[in-house]
A = this chain, B = another copy of it.
Amino acid sequence: MAFSPRFKAAVEEAKQGASEGGVPIGACLVAADGKILGRGHNMRIQKDSATIHAEMSALEEAGRLPASAYKGATMYTTLSPCDMCTGACILYKVKRVVMGENKTFVGGESYLAQRGIEVINLKNPECEGLMKKFIKEHPEDWYEDIGEDK
């Protein structure tokens, strides 16, 4: 799998989230030269947060950067990005979004493409499994995370 080395960091983050009892979604922002700029996982439960989704967590860990730092960057995420995280990727003009899966949830993929961002779906069973388990055990937390009524 061409994207596996950096994608692995996103999966590790998702597992870390799971081990903390959180929503098991991880992300990793990688610069054009392959350097990891930031990585993180969803912190809704851990930090009582409405905004720290995995992609936001990775962007936040990357910290303040000039626009040039995101040029050619890839956002690896274990799940199709929601509208908020889609917007964040568009704001910073990442080049590519590589997602683990979109069987659990389909976010802003078509809008990403419309805005010129490449979208790749790895259809990863491990990512699907993490979400399946979490949603079965904590459906109310999951629906809250995507702004839906259960």
Contact = CB atoms under 8 A, between A and B. Distances in A.
Interface of A: 44, 48-52, 56, 59-60, 62-68, 70, 82-88, 90-93, 108, 111, 115, 140, 143-144, 146-149
A19 to B, nearest CB: 20
Nearest to A65: B50
Contact of A60 (B49, B63, B144, B149): B49
B88 A63 contact: no
A85 B56 CA distance: 12
The CB with the most chain B CB atoms within 10 A, among A66, A91, A148, A149, is that of A91
B49 A147 contact: no
Contact of A50 (B60, B86, B108, B146): B60
A83 B148 CA distance: 21
A82 B91 CA distance: 7
A51 B60 contact: yes
B149 A67 contact: yes
A64 B23 CA distance: 13
